[in-house]
Amino acid sequence: MIYVTKRVKWAMSHRLGRGYSGSCTNLHGHEYYADIKVGAKMLNQQGMVVDFKLLKDVIGSFLDFIDHAMMDSEDTQLKKVLETIGSKTKTVPFNPTAENMAQWMLDELNAGLVEFGRLYDFSLEPREVKVVSVKIYETATSWAEAVTDDK
Ligand SMILES: [Zn+2]
């Protein structure tokens, strides 16, 4: 396998629930970083795993939903108030930990890669191009990583 990695960042607030009782139940924010690693069995004729432009567009369309949003795992009063004042929110079916977000992002970006690959007429399947890992940093010293397990 040959790999390329793209680093991106976004700002987001969130709060943890679902039985969690620490200080992260309070609304707070992070400047997140993610390293998105894409692998291929072989390079294309232009010598690429994937065009960085395509990768940037796939990731960008995903980040549009969460950048500068408040992420929560359920529809809460807080969410309703934020939406009333025009603030961006994102409800997800999981506790928005870095671990859950990394797995979600891995799945969504792989689906996006297929969609954009088709749109850009960029050959992915014969070379088995896929997002193999997403590493999300909540801080410079704390991160979670989700890895594709179908090797
Ligand atoms: Zn947090």
Distance 57 CA to ligand 1 centre (A): 26
Please give the average per-residue pLDDT across 6-31, as a whole number.
93
- Tell me which residues are annotated as active site: 24, 68, 138
The tally of domains found in the chain comes to 1
The CATH number given to whatever domain includes residue 64 is 3.30.479.10
* Sheet hosting strand 130-139, strand order edge to edge: 89-91, 69-72, 2-14, 28-40, 130-139, 142-147
- Confidence grade of residue 36 (pLDDT, cut at 50, 70, 90): very high
Distance 98 CA to ligand 1 centre (A): 8
Dump pLDDT digits (tens) for 84-139: 999 999 999 999 999 999 999 999 999 999 988 888 877 788 889 999 999 999 99
State how far Cα 67 lies from the chain centre.
10
Q: Crossing angle, helix 52-66 and helix 98-119, to 10 degrees? A: 130
Task: Return the pLDDT at 150.
Answer: 63
Task: Return the pLDDT at 91.
Answer: 93
The predicted model scores a pTM of 0.92
Distance 18 CA to ligand 1 centre (A): 14
Domain around 46: 2-147
151 Cβ neighbours under 8 A, 6+ residues apart:
none
